[in-house]
Every structure is written in structure tokens, then in C-alpha cells.
Amino acid sequence: MITTPTSDRGRAEAAERRAFWLACQFIWATLILSWFVAAMSIDTEFARDGRMGPPFFAWVTEGSSRLVAALIVPAVLMLGLRAPLEPGRWRTSLPVHLLGFLAFTALHVTGMVLIREGVWAFAYGQSYDFFHDAPLREIVYEARKDLGTYIGYQIIFAVSLALQMRRLEAEVARAEARQTHRLTLKCGGRTLRIAADEFRAAQAAGNYVEIRLAGGEHLARSTLTELERQLGEAGIDAVRVHRSWLVNRDAIREIIPTGEGDVAITLDTGSQIPGSRRYRARLEAA
């Protein structure tokens, strides 16, 4: 029976918690910002059209909606954590989210209507009629808006979780490099484990890096900065010689000036790469 080490499970759960609360904070900040923008826009429209409403009308109506939504956010994101819409699981997760959306819109509409009824009764001395003479139309209208909101919350959480998991993978890869002196690189669904002392140079290529080794080349989904960190943990003296190039200092055979401070760097494999004057001080540092 294969078991997950406690430390690995703990790190994964910690990453999930970070993703959860970062997503919550981002959504709460967005709700506050959108409340101010929407309320001020409505006040401006009323003033321009010469219309009058109860004091702070826009702030109450928009604020009641966002307050209830903010209170429900943790429960909505928890569904995203427990029922992720990812390959292999979406068939079982989709019904959960359909029920979650219905619960979300029911709580949202009920909560904001109750708040508005309370404010209208105690602050304005009036009754608040949300449904007017077409309750079905108003419910469908609110549900349509809530569907977009619910989906948006799930996307924000999914992005937050992906970023935290990527951060966790980078931390684990650096720890592995420190302990085993091997690089852990990923690309196209593959995980490559490469002896760090095989590294010669790497070039940035968008979201990837082209890694040159003593015996070949590999394309990995990473950044030069993250690769440099892994190499440092593995004991390799990697130096940035260009905005797009990283080099193993011990593999440099020759440095030839090319004018205006730039250089051409020849490696022990015979290949040549450019060096920028901006990074020359790092290259020539002992």
C-alpha cells in the first residue's frame, strides 16, 4: 500500500489554504471596489437626470448585494476546493456546482432583500418592494448575474490554487536539488531529473527555457530565475550573462569581446552564446 508522506500532505494542504484565503481576499477587495464604483455611478446618473431617491440609495442597494456575496464567498470557494472542475472529475463535480450555484443565488437574493427591507423600514419609514409585479422576471434577472459571479469566483480560486501549487513544486524542486544535486524539470507532461553538473547553459523562450546539457538539450516549462535557484541549491555556479541566457561558469572556455561592451562566450562543448555588457560584471566576478 502506497501512502503519502505526512510532510508532503502537510505542504499540499498549506498551499491549498494559502490559495483559499488569497482568493477570498482578492474577491473581497474587488467587491469593495466595485461597490464604490457602482454606487458613485448611480449617484451621478441620478444627479444628471434630476432624479431623487432616499438618502444613500445607491450605497444601500449596491452595498447590500456585495455584503451578502462577501459572506458567502468562503463557502463558494470551498466547493471549488472539494469539487474541482478538472479532467477526470468534472462529471462528478458539475452537479455539485449546479447545486452550489442555486444555493448561492438563493442566499444572495434572500439576504440582500432582507437587508434592504430592514433599511427601508427603519431608516426610510417605507416598505421595500423588490419583486414589484413580476417576481419571476426579477429572480431570473438576479440568477443570470449570479451565474457569472459564481463562475468568476471559481476561476479566481482555480488560478490562485494553480499558482500556489506551482510555487510548492518549485520549493520541492529546490529541496531535491540541494539533497540530490539533480534538477527537476517539467515539460509536456514529463518530469525530467537531470544531474546538475551536466548543465551548460539555458536560454529563455517565452514560458519555457531551452536547457543545454553536456550531452543534449531539453525544453522545460520554467523561468531562468527559477532554474538559477535550483542550480544554486545543487551547488552549480550559474551566472546570468544576458537577459535571455544563463550559463554554468565552470563550463566557460573563452570570453571574446565583440564591441560596445558585449561578449561572445564559448563553452566547453564548443557552442557559443552571447553575453551582454549589462551582465558583464557578474560574468567577470570571481
- Per-residue pLDDT tens, the chain, 286 aa: give them: 444 455 778 888 999 999 999 999 999 999 999 999 999 999 888 888 787 777 888 899 999 999 999 999 999 999 999 998 887 787 899 999 999 999 999 999 999 999 999 999 998 888 888 877 777 888 888 899 999 999 999 999 999 999 999 899 888 889 989 999 999 988 777 888 889 999 999 999 888 999 999 888 889 988 999 999 999 999 999 999 999 999 999 999 999 988 788 899 999 988 999 999 888 888 877 5
In DSSP terms, 138 is beta-bridged to: none
Contacts 24+ apart (CB under 8 A), 96-104: 97/150, 97/154, 100/76, 100/150, 101/146, 101/147, 101/150, 104/72, 104/76, 104/146, 104/149, 104/150
Angle at 15 between CA 88 and CA 100, to 5 degrees: 50
Three-class DSSP category at 236: coil
For residue 4, what pLDDT is reported? 47
Cβ atoms within 10 A of the Cβ of 167, count? 14
Say if residues 185 and 201 touch (Cβ distance below 8 Å): no
Q: How far is CA 64 from the centre of its chain?
A: 28
For residue 130, what pLDDT is reported? 82
CATH architecture of 182-284: Beta Barrel (2.40)
Listed in order, the ranges of the chain carrying CATH 2.40.50.1020 are 182-284
Nine-digit cell at 12? 499540499
- The runs of H, that is alpha helices, within the chain are 6-49, 57-82, 90-119, 135-180, 224-233, 280-284
Q: How far is CA 263 from the centre of its chain?
A: 38
